[in-house]
A and B are shown apart, each in its own frame.
Chain A
């Protein structure tokens, strides 16, 4: 397969996406809605490049276009730069305090503030919904009709089957999802609205709430497993570490038949 990437001939494995091939060859195509671990959704369109295949030129998104034969790819033409500039400007009005967008704006000379701000606190990359479906409790989805599309839970209700994994908050490129533990509960907040609230289980050792109560069967089902493994996280990480250390120490003292010295209360 002969690929000409921005004028240079490169080799590529059939089926690889343009983005993968470009990155392998040190060509940086901007992306916003893509992470390699998730199926691409090609929503932001920032990675649009020009593809010439069979002497036909067209615009495709690099993140999900699989190269299957000889092709020429142009990733940085004036037209593409202008288009990306416009996309950044449009997205910026949805989410004016985003660092990622400011960086992209600097790179493409975007005029921030060209469109009136309508703070939606979201660039609609869909990553949170996709990661939630893939690794979380499948709580978040792109809801709403048309341009009013938004990330939400089923029927906008506070979800209970959230596993509290926090992947959504972690993946959000504009840091607009808050996840917090308060008392014996964990909440996920999107657009200032409570998306999910789940109980935290108390540590059997120290009694403090520490981790979400998870319905494992859901995850097993998705993984195609029938037997739920013994997943018995009943001790918080701090206690777990301490218990482990104590066991080690005990074994050590037993070995040398040393009487451990009494210490005060923990922590």
Chain B
């Protein structure tokens, strides 16, 4: 069934809602029409799964279902959804109402799924998820630790609804909170509720959202409500998945904010590299406008709120609030030097409230269930949940939502499934490019992830990036990588950031090439200390964090690079070589076969050797050896 036509069919009978009651009646009619036990095939079409061909899967699935129509008792609805979160296993597919979970599904599998599962009621074993090292596969979503250990508040509809169909969102409760706010609450009550929830901004700084709304609402003049969907951190995609998977949650949150602050105009600033998010949001705005949920005279209450999507050209610094406002005004996206809050003078010098995507997406549920309910999740100082994008050397790469205060151990091992290839966990990097590296074996595996705790140990929450690093990650190279990113993304207007970071990059590059000198670490620390306190915007004042935190916790690795000209992790090519341990080598010949440079020699069943002249340090032998006999020297 084509979801677009089904939406059109239902919508054709509905004009604009002129009151809250009409909305609820329509919602009820939709719910009555949908049988919760009807079969449904949810195909994940988030950006990750799309990249590995889920749109083809969606199409073949629709065709296969249609082709076997006669044989199927109850026709399942094949639904296109946002990200399910388990991106490393894509394309993903869930069958409702049983909650069966198939992973790495190819278009060729569609017919078999229809025949065997939809018609025959049997599992396709090969497509089930099997945790690393386990003997048995797991069939149901609810039994998979990756999903079972999460708490989904923000992502509750993401992956379950069709983001292109407003009716599907309505069935799942969208705009209930807006209706409540417009008909039952005063703007001040809304702000009070948000304050009670202790919701803190999810964009990085963790500023209390209620306070921000309050101070903005008290300013005279026209107010603007702006959503920060710039998400420039490399590897982060939590905001993308919310915008792509549940656009109405963001719109509803913004509309509620607008009501609370007396605003009639909103903007969603989305990076251009998120075409799917731009598409879902634009469509969502149009559908909501048609129903009178956004735009003029919302739900017949006279409240007016117009929203539009504005695209940014993918500059990291445009996520910074004043740079974002400049960019939105059509100017160069550079942070403004003014010491004035955007809530006072932001977009077009008017009071503007800027929040992150996830912050707004939290709002509707807080309104419906109350601030006190929200504080039931998380910790005293950091309430609610946080979505992390878990990446790096961990089995289960994807999006995870957990209550604030969850331990790193739970996230990395419980949900992430641990470190592949029997490696040791070395560090966890949080907070995006200007976050810090948290050393694990030494102390911090059991710290509770919250705003305060992360800052205390020299990292930060940031927008929720979490990169897991095993023993083969070189901390000097990690620093160089992030500083290099920031040098490229700095706006270049202020001296410490522009010149300081460039110098730090030069020094770090030298270190990774084996050209380090005594005093380099001290110089890095000196530059880092002053860029962190003399820079103009948040980019510069946090840029040195990756360097400072790795120096603090992994100083010996810097020293090894400088004094011994060694890279203990085996990453910086000029600083290590591979050697085969003759005691351990069984002469199986696998490395010899794998080596692309023909640098490995040896007779069968006798210890092999590596010709250092020929070796290109591609790591093939190291990765493939089953006997752990290749050593990094």
List residues of A whose CB falls within 8 A of some B CB: 40-46, 48, 59-61, 64-66, 79, 82-83, 86-87, 90-91, 93-94, 115, 124, 126, 142, 144-149
Contact = CB atoms under 8 A, between A and B. Distances in A.
Greatest chain A CB density within 10 A among B338, B492, B535 is at B492
21 contacts: A43-B495, A44-B494, A45-B496, A45-B535, A59-B534, A60-B339, A66-B339, A83-B533, A86-B496, A87-B499, A87-B530, A87-B534, A90-B496, A90-B499, A93-B499, A142-B332, A142-B334, A146-B488, A146-B489, A149-B493, A149-B498
B339 A65 contact: yes
Contacts of B332: 142
Contacts of B496: 45, 86-87, 90
B491 A83 contact: no
B492 A147 contact: yes
Contacts of A90: 495-496, 499-500, 503
B263 interface: no
Contact of B337 (A42, A124, A142, A148): A42
A86 B339 contact: no
Contacts of A61: 337, 536
B502 interface: yes
B412 interface: no
Given A43-B495, A83-B530, A124-B495, A146 B487 contact: yes
Interface residues of B, number: 29
A116 to B, nearest CB: 8
B499 A91 contact: yes
Interface string B471-490: 00000000000000001111
Contacts of B490: 146-147
A90 B527 CA distance: 10
Contacts of A43: 337, 493-495, 536
A35 B152 CA distance: 54
Interface of B: 315, 332, 334, 337-339, 487-496, 498-503, 526-527, 530, 533-536
Contacts of A66: 339
Nearest to B313: A145
Contacts of A44: 494-495
A223 B534 CA distance: 36
Contact of A148 (B492, B494, B499): B492
Nearest to A68: B339
A62 B480 CA distance: 33
A124 B490 CA distance: 14
Given A40-B337, A64-B337, A87 B533 contact: no
Contacts of A94: 499
Given A40-B337, A147-B501, A147-B502, A86 B493 contact: no
A65 B503 CA distance: 28
Contacts of A147: 487-488, 490, 492, 498, 501-502
A145 B317 CA distance: 11
A242 B542 CA distance: 64
Given A90-B503, A91-B499, A147-B498, A48 B534 contact: yes
Contacts of A115: 503
Nearest to B492: A149
Given A45-B536, A90-B499, 10 more contacts: A48-B534, A59-B533, A59-B534, A60-B339, A87-B496, A87-B534, A90-B500, A93-B499, A126-B493, A147-B487
Contacts of A148: 492
A21 B536 CA distance: 21
Given A48-B534, A147-B498, A41 B503 contact: no
B502 A86 contact: no
A148 B487 CA distance: 10
Contacts of B338: 64
B494 A45 contact: yes
Contact of B493 (A60, A64, A87, A142): A142
Contact of A42 (B487, B527, B536): B536
B495 A145 contact: no
Nearest to B526: A86
B495 A45 contact: yes
B492 A91 contact: no
A85 B196 CA distance: 47
Nearest to B316: A146
Contact of A64 (B339, B495, B502, B530): B339
Nearest to B531: A86
A83 B493 CA distance: 17
Contacts of B488: 146-147
Contacts of A145: 315, 492
B441 to A, nearest CB: 35
